[in-house]
Structure 1
Amino acid sequence: MVVDAGSFGLQAEAVAFLASLRARGCSPNTERVYAGRVALYLSYCRMRRLDWRTPGFLGLAGLQRWLVETPLPPRAGRVRLGSVRYRSRGTANAVMTVVGEFLRFGAVHGWVSAGTAGLLSQPKLLRFTPPGFDRGESGQYQVDAAAFRFRGTEPGYEDLSDEQIRRMIALAASARDRFLIALLACTGLRIGEALGLHRGDMHLLASSRVVGCGIEGPHVHVRRRMDNPNRALAKSRHHRFVPVTADLVALYTDYQYERDDVAEAAESEMVFVNLFRAPLGRAMSYPNAKEMFGRLARALGQACRPHMLRHSAATRWLRDGVDRDVVQRLLGHASPLSMERYRHVDDGEARAAVEHVGSLGECR
């Protein structure tokens, strides 16, 4: 929810916008991030004495500049003399995207004028069209591009080496955390999919026919459920299963021994539950997982986020020659275009290619 800074009551339009995200089946993480960005926009308008419904071109352009020029407050417990943090242009673009969605939502419901909504985009001719798109006789492809957006380079996707993943598992404080890290790294599950797993989804025997499942070998079922107690949500709307290895089954067994020592966890159907702090036995939440990965990042001295493990799994499969269609199914992507982000060339591959060409030259 978003609270009005003046009346301390709910900001009705912002709350309605967030409710629309929930109705569309967006994840709690998306809703939480959007709430913060909408609140940031409303706070900016209040500070500049702007009506958020009619900010005008100058108001929106000012917001874009303000986002990158205003220092961020120091993180709790991490104040360093002389250190000042600013939002990146990428973060500013993400905020402006949410502001645009919020204002368009307001225009649909009559809270925001069509003129304001019209400021948010402008026509743009693309030099490169999407794969498979026919330009037609005109030879042009026009889209509506965001009007308030910084130009920048693509940040790329970070992955982790096998050694880095092993270090993460070794530094994890509990069997539960070790299993969670290994599960994400070995299966490519999203964090929401992992936290939304039920114990009935874990088919870890050589044969699961006794529970009515005809899939052979150990595997995990990934299902989209809207009623998980921790609001964890699988992004893909299609059920899939992902095979798992014997090593992962062994880590799950270790976790079960640890879990059995907490009586409150026995009644929960969720795989990942609180074992070390109250409320014991409750389903593990997104903030819990984020805190755990934050501790690991500080211990390792490097970034380690859940999605990096998913990216690492996909990259490893593709480099090992796994068919792209198989990788797409394992990851739960609906479109093959989503696979493009995972295949990138590492230093070793680049050097091997150059040395191969060099060796051919020597043969001549």
Structure 2
Amino acid sequence: MGRDEVLGAFGRYLRFERDLSPHTVRAYLTDVSSLLDHLNRPVEDLDVAVLREWLAGQHDAGKARATLARRAACARTFTAYCHRQGWLAEDPGLLLGSAKAPRDLPAVLDQEQAQEVMDSASGVEPKELRDRAILELLYATGVRVSELCGLDVDDVDRDRHVVRVMGKGRKERSVPFGLPALRALDRWCIHGRPLWARAGSGPALFLGVRGGRIDAGTVRRVVHAALAQVEGAPDMGPHGLRHSAATHLLEGGADLRSVQELLGHASLNSTQIYTHVSIERLRAAYKQAHPRA
């Protein structure tokens, strides 16, 4: 098969069978396009030596370790697909190893800073009501910014204090939230949202000033603005509130499996980084407080 035919077929597989996001599909196709350019021969000639040469070239070009790990993973997905299609007699990706990307500990708020962030959005104007509800819900649930933007009014179960979230891979989960988030949502839905809602607003829970569904960029600006008002708070986006929520849950005694379910992680390995965060904070507190530290 020709290069464009291979890319087209692989792209359809990623979109319709793997159900990956458009952003992820673009990233995969960019990496595979680079690999095929390096191969410069029919895909049937792809072997582990070519894969290693391609990655070595990326390394020599100064690509970060995390980038190399991601591209190796993409290559393995591609070769497995080609093998299933019958274009490769064997799957060379099975022989391809790669170093794991380093996992930096995420910046998180302490619990007092989190409270100050929530309190930074106060007032009775629609924007202030919306921003407070966004901050409260992000911190209460640890949902991703894309999940928050996709919420509809009916996704909030007020009686059970649960929000229904559509996560990665179109996997639905229910996430609980507390009274502060419920109160903020009620104030927004009763006193704020009706003033911004338009004929084209649809069921979106959070709206922009023109009445359309809120976008991720607006949510990021809301979070950055709130954090800027809290002295000593790290500068981070919505994902920082997700990190903080997970860390505070573990520090409060929640078990790792429960936090995994709340965050919508497919693997427990993704959740375990928050135990490292908690240990680092414990170590810092120990050094500061223990006379023999």
Structure 2 length as normaliser, TM-score?
A: 0.73
Paired position in structure 2 for 1:107 = 83
1:184–1:309 CA contact under 8 A, matched in 2: yes
Residues 1:244 and 2:219 are matched in the alignment: no
- Compute the displacement of 1:244 (Å): 2.4
One-letter amino acid of the counterpart of residue 78, structure 2: F
Paired position in structure 2 for 1:98 = 74
1:259–1:275 CA contact under 8 A, matched in 2: no
One-letter amino acid of the counterpart of residue 38, structure 1: L
Q: Which moved more, 1:258-267 or 1:94-103?
A: 258-267
Residues 1:289 and 2:226 are matched in the alignment: no
- Compute the displacement of 1:158 (Å): 4.0
Paired position in structure 2 for 1:183 = 137
- Compute the displacement of 1:295 (Å): 8.2
Paired position in structure 2 for 1:222 = 164
Deviations 1:219-246 (A, max 9, x none): 133254xxxxxxxx45574542413223
Paired position in structure 2 for 1:14 = 7
Which of 309, 312, 318 is matched with 2:241 structurally? Answer: 309
Listed as ranges, the gaps of 5+ residues in structure 2 are none
Q: Which moved more, 1:91-100 or 1:244-253?
A: 244-253
Deviations 1:244-275 (A, max 9, x none): 22355225523654432334266511213443
Q: Which moved more, 1:324-333 or 1:96-105?
A: 324-333
Deviations 1:58-98 (A, max 9, x none): 4322321333444xxxxxxxxxxxxxxx6411112102211
- For 1:61 and 1:351, how far apart are their aligned partners in 2? 42
Residues 1:61 and 2:10 are matched in the alignment: no
Coordinate RMSD, CA, aligned: 3.9
- Compute the displacement of 1:302 (Å): 5.9
Paired position in structure 2 for 1:121 = 94
- Compute the displacement of 1:326 (Å): 4.5
Residues 1:330 and 2:236 are matched in the alignment: no
The answer to which structure has the higher helix fraction is: 2
Residues 1:202 and 2:162 are matched in the alignment: no
Change (3 A) 1:103 1:260: same
- Compute the displacement of 1:319 (Å): 0.8
Paired position in structure 2 for 1:38 = 29
Change (3 A) 1:332 1:36: closer
Listed as ranges, the gaps of 5+ residues in structure 1 are 5-10, 71-85, 123-145, 209-214, 225-232, 360-364
Change (3 A) 1:331 1:296: closer
- Greater radius of gyration (CA): 1
1:236–1:332 CA contact under 8 A, matched in 2: no
- Compute the displacement of 1:164 (Å): 6.5
Quick one: higher RCO (CA 8 Å, sep 6+), 1 or 2?
2
Identity of aligned residues (%): 22
SS at match of 1:222: strand
